[in-house]
Amino acid sequence: AAESSGRKWEQKQVQIKTLEGEFSVTMWASDDKK
C-alpha cells in the first residue's frame, strides 16, 4: 500500500455494472489508516 499523510492507498477489487453485464477491476482506493 502507498501512503499519504493520515491515509493509505490500497488496491481494491471494485465491481462495475454496465447494461452488458458485471465485472470487477483492481483499482487504488484510499481509506483512513487504522
Partner 1 sequence: RPFVQDATLAGFDWGSYLEKSGLLAAPVSCFRHVPLCAQWEDVYVGLKVEVLNTHTALPSKVYWIATVVQLAGYKALLRYEGFEDDDRHDLWCNLGTADVHPIGWCAVNNKPLVPPQEVHQQDWKSYLMERLVGAHTIPVDFHVKMADSLRCPFRQGVRVEVVDRSQVSRTRLAVVDTVIGGRLRLLYEDAGLGPSGEVLSDFWCHMQSPLVHHVGWSETVDHSIKETDTNVNMGSHPAFRRVHQNSVPDQFKKLRTVYMGATFFKEGMKIEAIDPLNLGNICVASVRKVLLDGYIMVGIDGVEIGDGSDWFCYHASSHAILPVGYCENNDIPLTVPPGYDQATFTWPVYLEETGAVAAPQRLFNTDDVGHGFTSGMKLEAVDLMEPRLVCVATVRRCVGRLLLLHFDGWEPEFDQWVDCQSPEIYPVGWCEITGYQLQPPIGPE
Interface residues with partner 1 (CB under 8 A)?
Answer: 4-7, 9, 12, 14-23, 25-32
Q: Which residue has the cell 453485464?
A: 21
CA angle 11, 15, 18 (to 5 degrees): 140
Nearest approach, Cβ of 29 to partner 1 (angstroms)?
5
Are 29 and 2 contacting, i.e. CB atoms less than 8 angstroms apart? no
Q: CB of 24: closest distance to partner 1 in angstroms? A: 9
